[in-house]
Amino acid sequence: MLFAVGTRGVCAQAWAPPEPKPGERDWVMLTSGEWLWGDITLFQDKDLYFDSEELEDLTLDWRDIAIIRSARILTYTFTGERIATGTAVMEDGVIRVQTAGGVEEYARTELLKIIEGELRELNFWSMKASVGLTARAGNTEQSDVNTLVKIRREATRTRIDLDYNANYSKVDSVQTINNHRVSGGWNIIIKRGFFVSPLLGEFYKDEFQNINVRGTIGAGLGIYVVRKSDIEWNLQIGGSYRETRYISVEAGQSAKNQTGAVVPATVLEWDITGDIELDVNYNAQVGVPDPKDSTHHLQAFLSIDLFGDLIDLTTNFTWDRIENPKGNAGGITPERDDYRLALGLGIDI
């Protein structure tokens, strides 16, 4: 609901909404004098995300906001690692938060983030999981299973991601695919738009790439190119140590490879509509000192809501490339590229 107040040659008393009651929706007044009624869903990077009663989802520039009146329980993060949870009023450059211990006042210029609800550990966690299954019987017996699990803990200034992806396939009782990948990262926002990753890691094994285990550990830094409530895109660069142990090798070859790597990466998370989400993750491990000792990994995950926000129809595309695959004891050298496309059902918690 949108209200505009103005004067054209006559004096009028400025309209103001009634005092909000506990649990009611939020009021926001723009510098133009217009009032919006709805829910504050997020504030970060100088943008306020607002679900208007009539205008639906809006992105408002912080400079265009004059007054906030919120009777909902929100959590406010300020500079200096200060956090306040409660109802709030912002006016004349001051934010007054009614907490359980009393009213706390902060300058609006010190505000870093607003999130919905109380600051409870459970609110920091989210999970996506998907399983794709294909089975054939008759002249050819085949079974294919793809499993994907993404777990995230996101607090006011930190984010921890842990992903697991596995693929298994059998044709006429003979394995044709068997690989597992576990990866994780810890990001800390140090300034608006910038973050450091003090810990990045990956564990990978693929029987048909002749990889018994490949472990990577490193660190990096990054920048958010776009960071809004419906789309987030970042670029990262880092360094890592990688050790690969092979299942078997040709005579005279080492069964273990150790190398450093430069790791460029990018992550896109996009809510295309209210029901469709796209996640794209790409990273390369460029070998140091030999660039031929490099790997590439791309994963695109598309989910479409089927039953509310809980059950999804999922499509998972993965590309893996090893620039210099290692031949096994039988003299067979794996292909450089592997492509996988899986359809399945998922849950989003």
- Tens digits of residue pLDDT in 315-337: 999 999 999 999 998 889 999 99
Average pLDDT, the chain: 87
Check: CB of residue 266 under 8 Å from CB of residue 302. Answer: no
Extract the tokens encoding 140.
Answer: 């050819």
For residue 114, pLDDT beyond 80: yes
pLDDT digits (tens, 9 = 90+) for 260-295: 999 999 999 998 987 899 999 999 999 999 998 999
Residue keyed to tokens 């909404």: 17
Would you state the pLDDT for residue 247? 94
What are the backbone dihedrals phi and psi of residue 20, each rounded to the nearest 5 degrees, phi first?
-70, 145
Pick the residue with more confidence: 335 or 176? 335
Alpha-carbon gap, residue 17 to 36, rounded angstroms: 10
Could you give all domains of the chain from N- to C-terminal order, each with its CATH number? 2-119 (no CATH), 124-348 (2.40.230)
Helices (H) and strands (E) in the chain, counts: 0, 22
**Least confident residue range of 80-84, 93-97, 242-246, 298-302:** 80-84
Q: Please compute, for residue 112, the number of CA atoms within 13 A of its CA located in the half-sphere on the CB side.
A: 16
Q: How many other CB atoms are there within 10 angstroms of residue 192's CB atom? A: 11
> Smallest Cα–Cα separation from 48: which of 112, 125, 126, 118?
112
Would you state the pLDDT for residue 212? 95
Pick the residue with more confidence: 143 or 165? 165
Extract the tokens encoding 115.
Answer: 């999130």
Would you state the pLDDT for residue 3? 43
Residue 200: pLDDT band with limits 50, 70, 90: very high
Alpha-carbon gap, residue 333 to 253, rounded angstroms: 13
Taking CA 242 as the corner, what is the angle to CA 331 and CA 336, rounded to the nearest 5 degrees?
A: 40
Over residues 238-264, mean pLDDT? 94
Q: How many other CB atoms are there within 10 angstroms of residue 154's CB atom? A: 15
Would you state the pLDDT for residue 310? 78
For residue 140, pLDDT beyond 90: no
Would you state the pLDDT for residue 139? 67
Considering the chain, what percentage of its residues have pLDDT values greater than 70?
Answer: 93
Q: How many other CB atoms are there within 10 angstroms of residue 15's CB atom? A: 10
* Integer angstrom CA distances of residue 301 from 109, 132, 294: 38, 12, 24
For residue 168, pLDDT beyond 80: yes
pLDDT digits (tens, 9 = 90+) for 220-237: 999 999 887 788 999 999
> b or e along 91-129 (b: 16 or more beta carbons within 10 Å of the residue's beta carbon)?
eeeebebbeeeeebebeeeebbbbbeeeeeeeebeeebb
Alpha-carbon gap, residue 113 to 234, rounded angstroms: 19
Pick the residue with more confidence: 14 or 242? 242
